Amino acid sequence: MVVKIQRWGNSLALRLPKAVVEKAGLGEGSSLDVEAKKGQIVPRSVRRYRLQDLLDGITPGTLHAEVSTGPRRGREAW
């Protein structure tokens, strides 16, 4: 699909057709990681993490030991 680069304020922008956005599972406010690579613009969806999913992924094999950060400084509470 061919789209044109257009001016948007002081920047340039691509208008993404609704069908492309829906097929990619994106919507208004979605974040994309954009990279310029070998003369191409490569957008990638940014994965959104949920805290519970990250916590569910912790196993005894991936859990690290307590890390010492040194003695207390100032009014830090331990």
Strand partners, 40: 37
Q: Where are the domains of the chain?
A: 5-56
- pLDDT digit string (tens) for 30-68? 999 999 999 999 999 888 889 999 999 999 999 989 999
- Position 28 scores a pLDDT of 92
- Position 48 scores a pLDDT of 83
**pTM of the prediction?**
0.53
The mean pLDDT value of the chain amounts to 91
The answer as to CATH 2.102.10.10 being correct for domain 5-56 is no
